[in-house]
Amino acid sequence: MRTGTGGAGWLVALTLVAAACTRGESGAGAGGDTTAGGARRACPGDNAGLRLPDGFCATVFADSVGDARHIVVAANGDVYATLEGTSPSPEKQVAGDRQPAPRGVVALRDTTRDGVADVKEYFGERGNTGIAIANGYLYVDHGAKISRHRMTEGQLLPSAAEEVIVSGIPLMPGHRARNIAVTPDGDLLVNVGSATNSCQVKDRSAQSPGHDPCRELETRAGIWRFDANRTGQRFSPGARWATGIRNGMGIAVAPDGKVYATQHGRDQLFENWANLFPDQTYGAENPAEELFQVNQGDDFGWPYCYWSTAEKKRVTAPEYGGDGRNSDRCDRTKQPVATFPGHWAPMSLLFYTGNQFPERYRNGTFIAFHGSWNRAPSPQQGYRVVFQPMKDGGADGDYETFANGFAAQPETTLQPGNAQHRPVGLAQAPDGALFVSDDAGGRIYRITYQGRR
């Protein structure tokens, strides 16, 4: 674990909750894990196959919902998750089933307040990744556009009428997830990941130099800002807010308004540059995944730089004359708040603000790591949720693995294709429970605290 400098506080705008409810209040989906006398209930089952710290309990809130990506919880406890790549047609039938094929968003409600969704509905166009609740609307990422649907109190499904907030977002090739956050000031922040691995003249090819300058940065590999309350906007280079972020899959807004993001580091240092890095383990461990505090105009270095776990600093990429040690192009880039092992693939951030978990969990951030592929032939890693302690705006020691066991495979045989579950989205419920979505098995987990605080 490497730490740098950073801002204070955390909040996941991807999991905005319109209002907090106390544990045990009535209302559809509000949930609760107390008996009538107020004592904590014992944890049932086997923690849904997960390994958690003492006192925590994991159950399955919903299963086989589709390729669930990011997730949000409304003030009444209703849960919404985007579904990547599902059918846009309500008429198309699933083989062997008379139910319509899943659409872009799944909506879940727990009417019996037993911690399990008993109502499941699908709506919207072909899904992607990002989702947020703000200003009485559900905002949804469709890849090339971000739209919103008005929510109505008491109704699970939002309005069918779509309002397009921004269109024309570049989609292919490259990273297609357009995760989003809405700030308290009404800004819509959109991650637009890179089209390439490292902006090479010939992408992902051995010893191919990088384009210099990398013109891709004009429309990719950064965060773009739009007005969350204005329809009909068009994507443009002029709306770029921060740059040099290869794929910022997690975006979070702190209580003081500061923005944070995670980055998926570049691939193939060994495969493309074995002349510089002949040890395969170098490419498995490098570059580190990074956690940033982001301000307008910040530059985090991609594609010219990456964070070296060996040098404990940003170094110049080999495509731009780097040798794994020199940092001539990187010294002016903004430093990370914290770094994590290479190719773990951070997918989302959550700053816990509830009262259910012990107080120490209100001083840091949860990060879901999806797992990647470029650690081979070393064992694949990630596939977990970690907690990064924070203090005074910086990392307060090493990260801790909070929830593990999603993949249900030993590391020696683990690959993205055989992992049973892969954590993606994080959301906090009104009662303080933590929801985790999964895009491999289509599961929504619910994590509660049963121990003594």
DSSP of 57-109: EEEEEE-S-SSEEEEEE-TTS-EEEEETT--S-TTPBPTT--SBPP-SEEEEE
The 10 Å Cβ neighbour count of residue 135 is 15
Cite the beta strand spans of 342-439 per DSSP E.
346-350, 364-369, 384-391, 394-395, 400-403, 423-428, 434-438
At residue 89 the predicted structure's pLDDT band, cuts being 50, 70 and 90, is very low
Q: How far apart, in whole angstroms, are the C-alpha atoms of residue 387 and residue 398?
A: 9
* pLDDT band for position 103 (cuts 50, 70, 90): confident
State the average pLDDT over residues 265-269.
97
Residue 5 confidence (pLDDT) above 90: no
> What pLDDT score does 4 carry?
38
- Distances in Å between the Cα of 328 and the Cα atoms of 177, 191, 200, 277, 437 are 32, 27, 19, 19, 41
Domain ranges of the chain: 2-449
pLDDT at 41: 56
Q: What is the pLDDT of residues 192-207, one digit of tens each?
A: 999 999 999 999 999 9
Asked whether residue 97 carries a pLDDT value surpassing 50, the answer given is: no
d(CA 87, CA 232): 25
Q: Contact at 8 Å (CB) between 67 and 86? A: yes
Q: What is the mean pLDDT of residues 287-294?
A: 96
pLDDT bracket for residue 376 (50, 70, 90)? confident
- CATH code of 2-449, in short, is 2.120.10.30
44-64 pLDDT, tens digit each: 778 999 999 999 999 999 999
- Rounded CA separation 409/444 (Å): 19
pLDDT of residue 160: 85
Q: Which of these, 353, 327, 340, lies nearest to 384 by C-alpha position?
A: 340
How large a percentage of the chain has pLDDT more than 90?
77
Q: Round to whole Å and give the CA distance between 76 and 153.
A: 9
Provide the pLDDT for residue 42: 62
When pLDDT is averaged across residues 333-356 and rounded to a whole number, the result is 95
CB 434 within 8 A of CB 366: yes
Q: Model confidence at 451, in pLDDT bands (50, 70, 90)?
A: confident
For residue 38, pLDDT over 90 is answered with no
Please compute, for residue 428, the number of CA atoms within 13 A of its CA located in the half-sphere on the CB side.
Answer: 30
So what's the pLDDT on residue 253? 84
Sort strands 305-308 and 145-150 into parallel, antiparallel or unpaired: unpaired
pLDDT at residue 251 greater than cutoff 80:
yes
The residue among 340, 332, 338 whose CA lies nearest residue 297 is 332
At 53, list the tokens. 């710290």
Q: How would residue 394 be classed by pLDDT, with cut points 50, 70 and 90? A: confident
Give the Å distances, CA to CA, from 175 to 31, 36, 179, 334.
36, 49, 11, 23
Span between the terminal Cα atoms of the chain, in Å: 28
Confidence of residue 94 (pLDDT cuts 50, 70, 90): very low
Strand partners, 389: 364
Lowest mean pLDDT, pick from 25-29, 182-186, 315-319, 432-436:
25-29
Q: What is the pLDDT of residue 258?
A: 84
The per-residue pLDDT for 29 is: 37
Point out the least confidently predicted range of 25-29, 125-129, 255-259, 400-404.
25-29
Report the chain's mean pLDDT, rounded to a whole number: 88
Q: Is the Cβ–Cβ distance between 443 and 64 less than 8 Å?
A: yes
- Mean pLDDT, to the nearest integer, of 1-8? 36
pLDDT at 102: 60
Reported as a single tens digit per residue, the pLDDT across 61-78 is 999 999 999 999 999 999
Least confident of 32-46, 63-77, 208-222: 32-46
Is the pLDDT at 98 greater than 70, yes or no?
no
Q: What is the pLDDT of residue 318?
A: 98
Q: What is the 3-state secondary structure of 29-69?
A: CCCCCECCCCCECCCCCCHHHCECCCCEEEEEEECCCCCEE
> Using CA atoms, how far apart are residues 185 and 220, in angstroms rounded to an integer?
24
Confidence of residue 453 (pLDDT cuts 50, 70, 90): low
Q: pLDDT tens digit string along 122-173?
A: 998 888 999 999 999 999 999 999 999 999 999 999 998 999 999 999 998 9
